[in-house]
């Protein structure tokens, strides 16, 4: 069963069409976050290391271009939606982060589930300067593409004779990083809540 799945995945991933697929899915993921672009890029990165196909640098390039273009679609959707987004929980979180950290949150949010789309929509809706958005987004898109391809590549190198295990290792690394990021956010949120609780007690 595993061999059949692996062969099917190999036939797709080693096809020249894989670059267009990565580009399209990375783009869609910018404003339709149910599309798993990171999983696809990690998978192709693992195959690039273990089989030599697809080309890792070309894969990185199309993933970054797709991600950046998808973010721009989301940004302009935010511009058009404007105030209609303000009641959403994700919007309120992103707005708070944007007010505190500016464009830097765009880079960080890319590694937080659901954070990327909420942030790009918010930046658009709040009229964040487009040139600054472009600068931060190019950096965010490139860093994400390098991270995703590299994670898959590390897995592929570690299990060069067994791409399926390499894929599992790559996905495991990605999930671990995501869990660490979420844990750090949780701890910081708890620490920030303590002073607020103290202020409320004093005010009472």
Average pLDDT over residues 106-127: 80
Tokens of 167: 């894929």
The model carries a pTM of 0.73
Closest residue by Cα to residue 44 from 170, 161, 196, 172: 170
Q: Are 154 and 170 in contact (CB under 8 A)?
A: yes
> What's the pLDDT at 5?
44
Average pLDDT of span 23-45: 83
Residue 131 to residue 179: CA distance in whole angstroms:
32
* pLDDT level of residue 137 (50, 70, 90 thresholds): very high
Give residue 27's pLDDT.
92
CA–CA separation, 176 and 170 (whole Å): 10
**35: which 2 tokens?**
């599309």
Angle 83-85-89 (CA atoms, 0-180°, nearest 5)? 135
């Amino acid at each position: 069963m595993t061999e059949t799945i692996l062969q099917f995945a190999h036939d797709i991933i080693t096809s020249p069409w894989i670059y267009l697929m990565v580009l399209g899915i990375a783009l869609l993921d910018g404003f339709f976050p149910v599309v798993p672009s990171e999983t696809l890029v990690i998978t192709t990165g693992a195959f690039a290391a273990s089989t030599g196909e697809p080309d890792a640098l070309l894969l990185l390039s199309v993933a970054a271009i797709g991600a950046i273009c998808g973010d721009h679609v989301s940004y302009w959707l935010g511009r058009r939606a404007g105030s209609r987004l303000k009641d959403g929980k994700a919007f309120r979180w992103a707005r708070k982060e944007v007010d505190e950290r500016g464009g830097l949150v765009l880079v960080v949010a890319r590694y937080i589930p659901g954070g990327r789309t909420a942030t790009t929509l918010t930046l658009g809706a709040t009229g964040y300067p487009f040139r600054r958005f472009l600068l931060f987004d190019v950096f965010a898109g490139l860093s994400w593409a390098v991270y995703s391809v590299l994670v898959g590549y590390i897995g592929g190198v570690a299990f060069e004779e067994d791409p399926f295990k390499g894929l599992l290792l790559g996905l495991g690394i990605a999930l671990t990083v995501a869990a660490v990021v979420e844990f750090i956010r949780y701890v910081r949120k708890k620490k920030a809540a303590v002073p607020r609780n103290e202020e409320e007690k004093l005010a009472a």
